[in-house]
Amino acid sequence: MDIETIMEVEGGEPLGNPTPEEVSSAVFSLNGNDPSYCVIQDGNGSFVQFLGRAEALTVEWHICGEEGEEHYIVGHDNDDETSVIITYRDGETEVFTSEALTAKEAAPIGLAFLANTDLPEGFVVRDVSDLFG
């Protein structure tokens, strides 16, 4: 069986072809220290990354396609541009308040990536591709 998807949780061994239960468990395990991130990557180099702790984390959705690469931060549909700091083991990152998600909100995003489907209803993306050159 070919490994199409790899999940890596900080401090753990990479896991090939994770189940939906393993993805949800990994997202809920984030505590901001160890582990403070989880990345799920497909065979094309696209990935979804969760960073922070289960109570407040940021989700990045990176797509590799024929037209190039695109990088997004996922959040709720909200025009509020106030910011919040997400802390993790090696530092902190600033996102809009609408982009600070709980594990309960974020886990379905990981499941959508795993199933190769669109983001769940109620989420939008902010294109930050220009920050990655």
pLDDT digits (tens, 9 = 90+) for 57-92: 999 999 998 888 999 999 998 777 899 999 998 899
* Per-residue exposure over 82-101, b if at least 16 CB sit within 10 Å of its own CB, e if not: eeeebbbbeeeeebbebbbb
pLDDT digits (tens, 9 = 90+) for 3-57: 689 999 999 999 999 999 999 999 999 998 889 999 999 999 999 999 999 999 9
Count Cα atoms within 13 angstroms, Cβ side, for 80. Answer: 13
Looking at the structure of the chain, the number of domains it has is: 1
Structural domain for 10, as ranges: 5-132
Indicate the pTM of the whole model: 0.92
Contacts of 103 (CB under 8 A, 6+ apart): 27, 28, 30, 54, 55, 57
pLDDT digits (tens, 9 = 90+) for 92-121: 999 999 999 999 999 999 999 999 999 999
